[in-house]
A and B are shown apart, each in its own frame.
Chain A
Amino acid sequence: MEEIDEIVQEFLVESHENLDQLDRDLVALEREPGSRDLLGSIFRTIHTIKGTSGFLAFGSLESVTHVGENLLARLRDGKMSMTPQTTDVLLAMVDKVRELLAVIEDCGTEGDIDVTAVVERITAVLDGTAAQAAPTPIAELLPDPEPEDEPQAAVEPEPEPEHEHEPTPVAAPAKATEPAEEVSTRRNVADSSIRVDVELLDALMRLVGELVLTRNQIVRQAGDQDDLDLTRSAQRLNLIATELQEGVMKTRMQPIDHLWSKLPRVVRDLGAACGKTVSLAMVGRETELDRSLLESVKDPLTHLVRNAVDHGLETPEGRVAAGKPAEGVLTLRAYHEGGQVVVEVCDDGAGIDADRIAEKALASGLRTTAQLAQMSPADILQLIFLPGFSTAQAVTNVSGRGVGMDVVKTNIEAIGGTIEVESVVGRGTTCRLRIPLTLAIVPALTVECAGDRYAIPQVSLLELVALDADRAATAVEDVNGASVYRLRGALLPLVRLTDVLGVESDRSDGHVLIAVLQAEGKRFGLVIDRVLSTEEIVVKPLTSRLKSLGTYSGATILGDGRVALILDVQALARRALTAEALERGAVGTAAEEQKATSEHLRMLVAGIGGGRRVAIPLSSVTRLENIAASTVEVVGSREVVQYRGAILPLLRLDRHLGAISERAGDDLVVVVYSAGSRSVAIVVDEIIDIVDEETDVHSDIDDHGLVGSTLIRDRIVEVLDVRAAILAADPKFYSDPDVEIDLRGELQEAV
């Protein structure tokens, strides 16, 4: 049955409903022959079936209903009157229509049901009586006998659609001869599907949401008690609720084909406009997702398809020159994976050259050479999702205005999805969307902060880090609310939820709990008071006024019936991370963002002995490390250290600035400073602080190696001339002009 087209399916449902009405009408007509209303109703029913069957190219059905309609038109208009004979032929016609519909439902085609007999009977009635009652219409009727021949003609070409649908040509005639038996053995379309108001489905969904919550509550309570029976019942409830939830969710599911069915036309028109021939392949069109999501995916998907045709595929000449078939292939693929729906848009076009993307990003000032140098080609490709990025050679009316991909990304992220692009030069490009199955129920982590509970969608959660007071004191370089945690050696900026929300933490034992989150391609740690549990939560929408706070994406009701807010991780990342020390790889936007928030430049404050403190702009600091003093080696007159397979020049800041280190011990505190592929290790005595440098109190009193000094929390801190310091360690560090400009700008911000 899935082979039957959706339109045909709808036609069948509608026709079955109509035929039921027709039966009632015909029976009523026997009691009051000549009722105009009844005749009008019957006429309309047959007329509708005729119109649609003509449109769907069901020739036999059309010819039967056509002559039937003629007869009914006369009866309705009073040009003929009802006789037992007319009733008989009308009933025969209705039977034939049913028979045809049953066969269509079975195999998607009309099979080879012979309709000539019925058509002849009706025509005979028409001719016989029409001649007496109204002689004029004969001329009009004359073409009618044609349909008598048409059925054969119409049946013959049918086998063609048969290939598309169900290949059971042998079985079909058998079914056709005994349709009643066939129908009774299984439910037909009309019996097996009903129309349901979407509102009702939404209400059901809401109730199931409630049930899921109540289940959570009961399962938790049952777990606390030793009652074995209660535990069993709770488990059973758990299973049933889960199944019910899945079932109700299924009712809201629609195949992605709903969206895709519009794309062949888009592709064809666009291909023609661009002078390209494109064949569209669709795999997994039956993949289902929630109807609310379907709507949200529509625009992004259309955009990606347009993009692929416009930019992805080459012109036929270009393709032939590249040794590919002139016709480009665009493949849409959808499948379920790990609780998500994956939708891919692949073209076999020229592919995206990461180098060109890098050039473009550089030219439009989106990234610096230094940043690009740190990125893998795959990462560089993702830059096409940045606002203001377009590689189109020329602006066309289709795409290429530099808006689009970023909007696609925003839209997809808004529904909790992700997007990535893969490309092989010369082979093609694949855009991959990952979309949650439904927005209504999501797995989430519930946490506590300042006595309130919040939910964090699992999709953004990478891991949890729990530090006891002792470890927190050392592992979190935490001062002034601007903290960094070394997560496996890399700096993870920390955001305190209490700070974001402007509330007071009620945790005073010094323990630190970090939820490592990922959003907008950035990683950060959200410091919370407590982790409660992971559970499936039902997302309730918020009023636009609360949404506009940019902190919450929704609300949910927890097991105990209280409302908890769902944190909007994307928005938190955008808000909290603008001036944060970003992780390596995400250093990208730091430079631009610092310009916007220059008064909030982050400085790493280090002690270098003699009570002197030096501030180093944090943005280029990639790591803080402790290394054993014994690993320091000497190359020529310079000290170097082996670090992650590379040789890092070492700069002892105390010597550079004329201080004397007071640090005893056999390890060194090292600040790894990177630009591009080059790094230097700056040795300091201790890391004291990371601060928001927001004071304007600068002094011009400077000395060798410094660009000035500033007051940070009532202490004079010298601001390091990073450039001079680094050049002292590695004279070739700034051989790349772009890095130089970048760092100069940064230093100007710093001082």
Chain B
Amino acid sequence: MSTRMVTFTLDGHLYGVDVEAVQEVLRGQARTRIPLSPVTLAGLINLRGQVLSAIDLRALLELPDRDGDTEPMLVVIRVAGEPVALMVDTIGSVVDVDDDQFEPPPDTLVGVSRDLLLGAYKLEDRLLLALDVDRAVAA
């Protein structure tokens, strides 16, 4: 069984989500911050008249904050029919991965990322970390 993943980077790591879940990729969207909301919520964006929450994956995965001058990109995914935007550093490509490349997270992985990562696909030169979108959106 092979899976097609949309890849993106966060703090130098390569992450991926199932291409089926991805609706579109956006750049340069004005975000409206939401005072009092959890830090993982980066704000609200207007996607053709629909108001979407943008989730800051760096904050969610407890990675260091993005540099001020790099403009984040947004991956719009659909979870349970509802679109949500994931804020990432850069967009990679679409890759086909095979089930036998997959391994569950190492036992030494602890903390939030253990809950949010399904595991890793061993690509030739690096690891592709598969994000559990359902949990990422629910977190």
Which residues from chain A sit less than 8 Å from chain B, CB to CB?
Answer: 206-207, 209-210, 213, 452-453, 501-503, 540, 542-543, 545-546, 549, 551-552, 555-557, 561-565
Contacts and interface: CB of A to CB of B under 8 A. Distances in A.
B49 interface: yes
Contact of A565 (B32, B45, B82): B32
B85 to A, nearest CB: 12
A449 to B, nearest CB: 9
Nearest to B32: A563
Contact of B49 (A209, A543, A546): A209
A562 B30 contact: yes
Contacts of B36: 501-502, 549, 551
A190 to B, nearest CB: 35
Nearest to A551: B36
Nearest to B30: A562
B135 to A, nearest CB: 14
Contact of B35 (A501, A561, A562): A501
B27 interface: no
A555 B37 CA distance: 14
Contacts of A453: 32
B53 A561 contact: no
B51 A557 contact: yes
B34 A552 contact: yes
Given A546-B37, A563-B30, A563-B45, 8 more contacts: A209-B49, A452-B32, A452-B33, A540-B50, A543-B53, A551-B35, A557-B51, A563-B32
9 contacts: A210-B48, A213-B49, A502-B36, A543-B53, A545-B41, A555-B51, A556-B51, A562-B30, A564-B32
Query: What 3 A-B pairs come out closest when comparing CB atoms?
Result: A501-B35, A563-B32, A563-B44
- Give chain B's interface residue range (CB within 8 Å of chain A): 10 to 19
Given A452-B32, A563-B32, A549 B49 contact: no
Nearest to A556: B51
Nearest to A206: B49
A562 B50 contact: no
B23 interface: no
Contacts of B53: 543, 545-546
Interface centre among B43, B44, B45, B82 (most CB of A within 10 A): B44
A453 B44 CA distance: 12
Interface string B31-65: 11111110001011110111101000000000000
Contacts of A552: 34
A202 to B, nearest CB: 12
B30 A540 contact: no
B5 to A, nearest CB: 26
Contacts of B30: 561-563
B49 A563 contact: no
B33 A555 contact: no
Nearest to B50: A540
A546 B34 contact: yes
Nearest to B52: A563
Interface centre among A207, A502, A556, A563 (most CB of B within 10 A): A563
B32 A562 contact: yes
Contacts of B31: 563
A540 B35 contact: no
B16 to A, nearest CB: 25
Contacts of A540: 50-51
A546 B84 CA distance: 13
A206 B48 CA distance: 10
Contacts of B49: 206-207, 209-210, 213, 557
A542 B53 CA distance: 9
A546 B45 CA distance: 14
B35 A563 contact: no
B48 to A, nearest CB: 8
Nearest to A552: B34
Contacts of A502: 35-36
A561 B31 CA distance: 10
A556 B32 CA distance: 11
Contacts of B43: 563
Contacts of A546: 34, 37, 41, 53
Interface string B72-103: 00000000001000000000000000000000
A565 B46 contact: no
A213 B48 CA distance: 12
Contact of B46 (A207, A501, A549, A563): A563
Nearest to A560: B30
Given A452-B32, A557-B46, A563 B51 contact: yes
B35 A503 contact: yes
B37 A549 contact: yes
Nearest to B38: A545
Contacts of A555: 32, 44, 51
Contacts of B37: 546, 549
B28 to A, nearest CB: 12
A554 to B, nearest CB: 9
